[in-house]
Structure 1
Amino acid sequence: MKKSVLLAAGAGLIAIAAFVALKPEPRPATPQKGDALVEITLPATLGAEAAMGKTAFDATCATCHGENATGRLGMGPPLIHKIYEPSHHGDMAFIMAVQNGVRAHHWPFGDMPPQTGLTQADVKNIIIYVREVQRANGIM
């Protein structure tokens, strides 16, 4: 009797081990509209102006450009990206984008309309915020 119990227990363990070994890996989730487009590293701390810029960004820009400017699939590009480094899109490009909107040219997201409800100080602080996060990610 003891031998048959041990054999049954051993067979059960082998079956469990086989199931675990042969179990297919879960498929990665299919990206959904609105998902972040890039992974970033946030700075350990933000300067005072950048912190105010993050607040303004979250209120006005994050809907399309994503949390922490990581972009949103099907909605808007990431600003924490080499394309938006200061030597390619200087601070004035951001100011003009807010004031006048932007025709789609780097990404297939469509045109960006002009943004309202932001003061010049808000825009300046948003730029400081984006630049601090870019620097934390090696974009200079």
Structure 2
Amino acid sequence: MQRKILLILCVVLVAGGGYLLFGKKSHEPSGEPAQVMVEVVVPALNATTKLGERLFNDNCASCHGANAAGQQGVAPPLVHKIYEPSHHADGAFYLAVKQGVRAHHWPFGDMPPVEGLTQKDVERIVAFVRLVQTANGIQ
């Protein structure tokens, strides 16, 4: 059951990233930045989550927005009940990065795999995202 949930999360994450990577060009001509989808409070970060934040910003924020708040018309927010651990376990993030995700929760298209991240990198990104989720009521 957890594997299925993890696979679903990965699919969602990959779908959002893929859309951003391949579909973002259609948003650029307007010259307007994509709108943030949710308001996010960022708690105090420790060394691990600070590194996770930096890795997220370098590899995920271009699609999923600053602080995982999503971007309207680009990619979904990861600070959303759909991505709570009971629905999308941590393993879903690992699979999404490694294999990509087919679109299923959001209308952003498929997310492609994210190249160049180690398992430890993804672990740190997940720690950051989970901390931000918790600070925003996502349990």
What TM-score do you get using the length of structure 1 for normalisation?
0.75
Structure 2 letter corresponding to 1:90: A
1:56 counterpart residue number? 55
Q: Distance in 1 between matches of 2:45 and 2:105?
A: 28
Q: How many residues are treated as equivalent by the alignment?
A: 108
Q: Distance in 1 between matches of 2:33 and 2:70?
A: 11
Is the CA contact 1:64–1:72 (under 8 Å) kept in the aligned structure 2? yes
Larger helix proportion, structure 1 or 2? 2
Percent of residue pairs bearing the same amino acid type = 57
| Cα deviations by residue, 1:101-128 (Å, 9 ceiling, x for unpaired) | 0000000000000000111111000000
Q: Distance in 2 between matches of 1:110 and 1:61?
A: 16
1:115 counterpart residue number? 114
The alignment yields a C-alpha RMSD, in angstroms, of: 1.0
Q: Distance in 2 between matches of 1:136 and 1:101?
A: 27
What TM-score do you get using the length of structure 2 for normalisation?
0.75
2:64 counterpart residue number? 65
2:102 counterpart residue number? 103
Q: Structure 1: 5+ residue runs without aligned partners?
A: 1-31
1:126 counterpart residue number? 125
1:37 counterpart residue number? 37
Q: Structure 2: 5+ residue runs without aligned partners?
A: 1-31
> Pairwise mapping of residues 73-84 of structure 1 onto structure 2 (< 5 A)?
73-84=72-83
Is the CA contact 1:33–1:75 (under 8 Å) kept in the aligned structure 2? no
Is the CA contact 1:37–1:73 (under 8 Å) kept in the aligned structure 2? yes
Larger gyration radius, structure 1 or structure 2 = 1
Structure 2 letter corresponding to 1:118: L
Q: Which has the higher contact order (CA 8 A, sep 6+)?
A: 2
Is the CA contact 1:33–1:73 (under 8 Å) kept in the aligned structure 2? no
Q: Secondary structure at the match of 1:131?
A: helix
Q: Distance in 1 between matches of 2:131 and 2:34?
A: 24
| Cα deviations by residue, 1:73-108 (Å, 9 ceiling, x for unpaired) | 111000000000000000000000000000000000
| Cα deviations by residue, 1:16-63 (Å, 9 ceiling, x for unpaired) | xxxxxxxxxxxxxxxx661110001111x1121111010000001001
Structure 1 letter corresponding to 2:106: W
